Structure 1
């Protein structure tokens, strides 16, 4: 897969629908990955959330309409997806610093968010420690939380905070007395929202309770926990050691902007797993398949 081509085609789709409905399912199909993975990829490449980019592009174009047409402001509001003129005026002022009615009648300074265009830039600023591992099937026990993909970055820290408060993490720690399997430590698993099926996803907190190897003993889930099974797959496992959340965020940014476009791999239709261990040692597990266009 030509990642840069797919990304730019997704941007073209967004651009063509700024005055209509933008479907995250359609974006995911164009990009060839889950909605959540696309949003994650976009945020690390563009340094802003996808929802913010779309909002800023609409507010940029709406300013041109206010300046250069005789359309009523209420009609411009509806054109760019706002339910009322008041809602549009608030968003317009938050972005541009001035009300649209003033722009129409007075000289005002406005902001502009240009259309994005992606290209590969080889930086090599920081090396990445990783391994490619053919890993057998494995099971995870834990708790699942249903969240909107558009608010995932805000919701996930609250899920971890709640788990420490309600005893969930203490229950996980009891498993460590029985098992020590990879992916190790506390796991944060981003699952679902795949290939146009849903704009929601599951975020799972858990621990590995079984790996399909002869030496591994199966440990059943505790009361109140679910069990999740994952098939054999090729995984890229990246070290993400250091202070959180910066260490993990840096790995994602390098992965999407430097490693993946040049790797000869595509994202597999499996969850992304973050493994949190002791002493600021973390790993990011990303499932891969060989690209059809790869020569390797």
Structure 2
């Protein structure tokens, strides 16, 4: 079974449980990857977060139930996972633009989010430069913050901006001058949470301060910074040169939608890294394993 089939089976599971409990761990197990990796892949393929898709599908079906049954609105709310009629009403109005109580009493315009079906699109107009590397274990020293996964596109740039303003990047620059190890440059590392229904991730801004090879000196992390150990693994190292943030975002999308489905690899449950170097050069490191 290929990667696209795994994704579609995970979407089938979501569809079958919209009126019940949806386990993110179960979704990830069906897809053969971690919760965090599934959320990333889903968002790049569909341009929406997993939680947003589930919420939109439930509110779509809830509108059909209001139109086509005589069930009480509170019962429909509970059916689709809302603890109160008030919380359901707010979510319904945010999605459809109208109160659920009006749907049965006057002509209204409603929104519909259809079930997704993932397919491979053969493009091929943009080349992607990459290499597969078996890399030894290494350590990254830096600052670490817990952020909301579906707010990452806003919170991560703010975190970098703060790091430049508060002197963190000066400390990391000094550390970089003592190391200059690969993965190179300033690193943005994403680590997904493993809890059930995890909606958070850890993000690290740092520098590689040790690689477990003979003769490599461990340079301690500056005071107040964390040190993250990453085990030896096989990595797809993707060239993402160009103007930020588009260059990196485009590479992620191309990797998940074109390269991965055809590669014979699966995602490994390890951090994902962006390496920012000089003169518009960037690399994206994604751990993979043979199917």
5+ residue gaps, structure 2: none
Contact 1:77/1:83 (<8 A) preserved: yes
TM-score, normalized by length of structure 2? 0.93
**Counterparts in 2 of 1:240-259, with a 5 A limit?**
240-259=240-259
5+ residue gaps, structure 1: 292-296
Contact 1:134/1:234 (<8 A) preserved: yes
Q: Does 1:139 align with 2:152?
A: no
**Counterparts in 2 of 1:18-57, with a 5 A limit?**
18-57=18-57
Contact 1:135/1:233 (<8 A) preserved: yes
* CA deviations over 1:239-284 (Å, ceiling 9, x no partner): 1112222111111111111000100111112111111122322110
Compute the displacement of 1:216 (Å). Answer: 2.9
What secondary structure does 1:109 align onto? Answer: coil
Task: Name the stretch that deviates more: 67-76 or 206-215.
Answer: 206-215
Distance 1:25 1:150 in 2: 17
Q: Does 1:179 align with 2:179?
A: yes
Contact 1:34/1:193 (<8 A) preserved: no
Contact 1:10/1:27 (<8 A) preserved: yes
Compute the displacement of 1:81 (Å). Answer: 1.9
Compute the displacement of 1:115 (Å). Answer: 0.5
Compute the displacement of 1:143 (Å). Answer: 2.1
Compute the displacement of 1:95 (Å). Answer: 1.8
Compute the displacement of 1:215 (Å). Answer: 4.7
Distance 2:24 2:164 in 1: 32
CA gap 1:199/1:101 in 2 versus in 1, 3 angstroms: closer
**Counterparts in 2 of 1:152-171, with a 5 A limit?**
152-171=152-171
Compute the displacement of 1:217 (Å). Answer: 2.7
Task: Name the stretch that deviates more: 126-135 or 91-100.
Answer: 91-100
Distance 2:226 2:109 in 1: 55
Distance 1:217 1:23 in 2: 44
* CA deviations over 1:75-122 (Å, ceiling 9, x no partner): 212222223323222222222222222211112222111101112222
Compute the displacement of 1:150 (Å). Answer: 4.5
CA RMSD of aligned residues (A): 2.0
CA gap 1:154/1:79 in 2 versus in 1, 3 angstroms: farther
TM-score, normalized by length of structure 1? 0.91
**Counterparts in 2 of 1:1-296, with a 5 A limit?**
2-194=2-194, 200-291=200-291
Distance 1:149 1:95 in 2: 21
Distance 1:38 1:154 in 2: 20
Compute the displacement of 1:3 (Å). Answer: 0.8
Instruction: Tell me the matched-pair count.
Output: 291
